[in-house]
Each structure stands twice: as structure tokens, then as C-alpha cells.
Amino acid sequence: MKFVIPKKADWRFPIAVFLLAVSVFFLVHALWFVQTPVWFPVRCFLNGLPVTLFLFLPALFWKRLARIWLPSVTVLLLVPALLAGMHLFYYETTISQQSLYAIFESNLSESLEFLGSQFSVTALLYALALFTIPLVLLRRALRLIRTSGFSAARFCGVVLLAVFFALYGSGKLPRLAKDNLAWQLVSSWQNYRETMEDLEGYMKKAAGLRAPDVATGREPVTLVVLIGESSSRHHWGLYGYFRDTTPELAAMQDELFVFDDAISPFGRTTLSVAAALSCRDVPGVGELPLVNVFRQAGFEAVWISNQTTIDDTNMIVRLVTGADRKIYLNRGGDQGYIRQFDDKILPALDSVLAQDSPAGRRVVFVHTMGSHVNYASRYPEAFSRFISGGDIQEKPWFTGSAKKYINHYDNSIVYTDHIIAAVIKRLRTVPNSALLFFSDHGEEVYDTRKHHGHHDSMESRYYVDIPFLFWLSPSYRARLTPEEVRRFLAARHRPFVNDAAPYVMLELCGVSFPSPHWKDSPLSSDFAPRPRIIHGVDYDSRYPAEREKASACVR
């Protein structure tokens, strides 16, 4: 039996099914493209289309089944289309596990209040269009079932089935499925449930973890810890970069303690942030969330995140689960392409600072988007300071787009500078306040090779070289002893790995407990430099000539 294309067959029904499949998620991706006019929304639509077509496949083989299958699948797919579309309309980003976290953590009253406050005619028209267009095409397809033969439909079904098995055999199907909105919703729901079950078990365990003999020696302190993202100190004007990317911090440089030789223990977010938020080798305990120590010392602990932390950084979520308050600002999906600016943290921080904290002690951790790729999505247009790239020195590995990426990255650093300065401005009126800033890891931006991004390796020192600084309010500085001032100043040039960050925070807040790792902190009077072995590589042996250069830039 030969497999041939039916020549006199009626092609109207399979075409109608194809248009129906296309229409279900078309308006979602169209809005996404309008909001973010790059190739990514188009690519996601095309990648997800084969999975959508496959779901309609049974309707192409049997006429009797088609009458039931087409409306059933259409209605089922319209649920994620409506959820994703309206989420995109309101938040300008795709729905994700983080979105589900926010939705299911809200009660009915909060949900109704949100819907009432966000109602608009434009939103209503867009919602109507999301399901009206597919339903009109569904009606057309159902009419054609009665009048069309199924030879052309079955031929198309066989072709689609062959394509599906080819994609499955090539291993590409899972990648395409990730871009299908229906698949994303089901996957996000499954991940949400697994995360919640996992966290419930961990919270029961973590609640009982306590550091031994915690002591608080200072007056009440408010510490804000800004955790940067993908920020290389080599692109900071404050560290001697040829561009003035940190003008606001430079204007207050005399108030800052800028550390010139800090490196991250890892080249990716999850592990590096986790290392900065946990105390290891605690006697009798082992690894202990830093939040637990602060709460034992009478501090209110607040976690503010502008990253989609719940998605793939469960380790971070675990470490902050004991915080008194957790505020998630980013309900987006793929962080690489959403436009989520860090100025969103400012009103959230204002709200926290406006309320009294127990005993006047508070630590606020803020996880920023910083310079997370895509760099162009990390800053508002007003911060497009570097455009031409004519001042960038040519390098042999530059491609046509290298200078564009460098410009975007440097503009993101300018915006980070602005955010840090804005937080400091708020803290000036808060008694005994301090700000600590460090980046999770660094970033290679065509600095030494044809590459931009980061990697958990030592192939480039730019992956781990990070900015690290703190600011103290006038009232905080006034209570420092001369010996403490000398120690803080000397600490700026000490080489350390940022898994010492917990002890820097505790020192700034006057909190202590027995630990063998106090000597890792550059602020400690017992500081002892240790070999900085990153991924089995001795950092200081590989880059011996760079330390003095970095140190000279900030003196």
C-alpha cells in the first residue's frame, strides 16, 4: 500500500484544525512580542506549536471522535491561554511557578481586591479576544466535520505523527515542550507542589536548628544587605574601570568601605548566594541558615526578592524560609527576557523601614536582578548612558555585537549604582543603619575571550571577581571605637572568599557565636588569609599579578 497525497480530498477541515491550534496561544505571544520586541517570544511560539498540534491529532483520524475531541481540547487549552495572557497583560511577563506561588499564597479577598483594582476596558477586550477567536475557529471546524471527507485529515495526521516521533527520537521534544504554555502551566504546578512539600519538611527541621551561645553586644542595628547579580567589579568605575559606571557611589566614596579583593566561591547564583546566607561547621549543628542566627539574636529578618527565586533556586528559598517576612516582587517566567527593574525594591523597602522592628533590630536581605542577562532588559531607557562604543578598545575576539553587549552591561551597572545610592539615601535617616552590597558572582563580557555570561569554573577570573562594599550611617560611625575604625579600614585590602559574608553581616550587627570561621571574615581581628581554592584551582597562583592592580584602583 502506497502512502500518497490525496489529490481530490477536501483540505478545509485539516486547515481549520491547524488554524485553531495556532490561534489558541497566538494572542499571548503577540502581546509578549509587543511588550518585548525580540526574537524570543516568536521562537517560543514556534517551539510550542508542535505540542499544541499533537494535542489536536486524534480529531484528524475519526469523524465521530472529532466532534467531542476538538471542543474538549480547545477548552482545556484556553485555560492556560487565558491565565498566561492576563498575567502577561498585567505583569508584562509570562506565568511561572513563582506566579503560582503568589496566587496560592493569596486569599480570596486579596484576589478579588486585585481584580477590582486592575479592571479596565482594555483588559476586558483582550480577555474576550483570547477565547473568542479560538471559539470562532472551533465553530468553523465543527461545521466542516459534517461536510468534509477525512482522507486529507488522516494524511495530515500521519504526517504530524511522523514529525512527533522524529522530534522524540532526536531528543528535541522536551525542549520544544518547555515553550508550550499548556506544558509550562502543568509543569509549574507540579514543581510548585513538589517545592511546597519539600519546604514543609525542611521548615520543620530548620525551625529547631539553633546556634550555640548567641550574643548581641551592640546597640540595635538596621542592616540592609543588597545582593547583586552578575556584577563584575572590573566594570565598576569605583574599581578603576575606564568608564564612569558608578557616578553616584563615587560622589560618596569617602563614606564607603570598598573591598578590592573579594571573590565569589562559585560562578553561579544558587550556590554563591547560599554560601553567603549560611554558616557552615557550626559546632553541634553543622550548616545553619544565617536567618536563624539573626532571629536568635532578636533581629527581625526580612527577605525581599526581585528574582524568580522560587523557580530554580530552591536552596535559597530553604535558607530564608525562617524569615519573619518574605516579599517576592517578580512573578515572571524566564528571567533572561523579562524587563524587571530593581526600582521595584524601593517601595517595598520603604514599607519595611516605615514599621517598627522588635527591639529595634532588623536585617533586610534584598536579592536584586542587577545585571542578569539579557543586559538590555535590566535598566530603564533613562540609564542608556553608553551607546556608541567608540571608546571601547578593539580586541581580536570581538564580534559585531560585542560592543553592543558591553554597552548594555555597563548601562546595567550604572543602574545598579543608582539603586545602591537610593537605598543609602533612605538609610541616612534610620538610626544605627548600615548597608552591605556584594554580587553573587562576576561576569565575563568579552573581557578576555569571545564570550559573555558566567560559568561555574575558573576559566576566567571575571566569573568570580565581585564588588564588595559597605556603608555606615553617621550615627553608626559615631559609636565605633578608634580600633574598630582602623580594623575596618585595613580590611578593605584583605583577600577573602565571599562565603565569609555571613560573618561580615554578624560583625556589623554586633552578633557573635562560637564558630571556626570568624577568621575568614576580613573584619575579624583574628583574620587569617586562607588558600582561595575555587573548583580545585588556586586563584591567587593563577592570577598573582592582578591583586596589586585591583588594590591600587581603589586606594
Owning domain of residue 547? 221-390+398-553
477 or 452, greater pLDDT: 477
- 6 lies in some domain: no
Using alpha carbons, select from 247, 233, 220, 221 the residue that is nearest to residue 469: 233
237 and 100 share a domain? no
Residues 357-377 have a mean pLDDT of: 91
Provide the domain count of the chain: 2
Number of Cβ within a 10 Å radius of residue 311: 22
Distance CA 184, CA 187 (A): 5
- 486 lies in some domain: yes
- Percent helix / strand / coil, the chain, rounded to 5: 55, 10, 35
Distance CA 291, CA 160 (A): 53
- 421 lies in some domain: yes
Supply the pLDDT for residue 358: 80
Using alpha carbons, select from 309, 302, 291, 283 the residue that is nearest to residue 440: 309
Inform me whether the pLDDT recorded for 110 exceeds 50: no
Distance CA 235, CA 230 (A): 11
- 4 lies in some domain: no
Cell of 230: 552578575
455 and 339 share a domain? yes
Supply the pLDDT for residue 312: 42
Compute the residue count for the chain.
Answer: 555
245 and 145 share a domain? no
- 204 lies in some domain: no
451 and 503 share a domain? yes
427 and 473 share a domain? yes
Supply the pLDDT for residue 374: 84
176 and 304 share a domain? no
Supply the pLDDT for residue 151: 80
- For residue 463, the domain's CATH number is 3.40.720.10
Picking from 179, 194, 209, the residue at the C-terminal end of a domain is 194
190 or 196, greater pLDDT: 190
163 and 300 share a domain? no
Residues 157-177 have a mean pLDDT of: 80
Supply the pLDDT for residue 264: 96
308 and 258 share a domain? yes
Burial class (CB in 10 A: 0-12, 13-18, 19+), 429: exposed
Distance CA 313, CA 336 (A): 15
Picking from 147, 177, 194, the residue at the C-terminal end of a domain is 194
Distance CA 320, CA 292 (A): 9
422 and 325 share a domain? yes
For 212-271, how does the pLDDT look when each residue is reduced to its tens digit (9 = 90+)? 999 998 788 999 999 999 999 999 999 999 999 999 999 999 999 999 999 999 888 888
Inform me whether the pLDDT recorded for 294 exceeds 90: yes
DSSP state of 446: S
Distance CA 553, CA 164 (A): 58
Cell of 441: 558572582
For 461-505, how does the pLDDT look when each residue is reduced to its tens digit (9 = 90+)? 999 999 999 999 999 999 999 999 999 999 999 999 999 999 999
Supply the pLDDT for residue 71: 93
- Band the pLDDT of 97: cuts 50, 70, 90: low
Inform me whether the pLDDT recorded for 529 exceeds 80: yes
Inform me whether the pLDDT recorded for 409 exceeds 60: yes
182 and 255 share a domain? no
165 and 267 share a domain? no
164 and 249 share a domain? no
Question: 226 by DSSP, 3-state: which?
Answer: strand
Give residue 109's Cα distance to chain centre.
29
- Band the pLDDT of 1: cuts 50, 70, 90: very low
Picking from 154, 179, 194, the residue at the C-terminal end of a domain is 194
Supply the pLDDT for residue 337: 52
Alpha helices in 92-150 (DSSP H): 97-104, 108-118, 121-147
Supply the pLDDT for residue 6: 61
Distance CA 107, CA 100 (A): 13
- 3 lies in some domain: no
Inform me whether the pLDDT recorded for 96 exceeds 90: no
Pair 446, 458: CB distance under 8 Å: no
- 199 lies in some domain: no
Distance CA 221, CA 457 (A): 37
Query: Considering the chain, what percentage of its residues have pLDDT values greater than 70?
Result: 87
Using alpha carbons, select from 231, 202, 464, 175 the residue that is nearest to residue 314: 202
Distance CA 25, CA 78 (A): 8
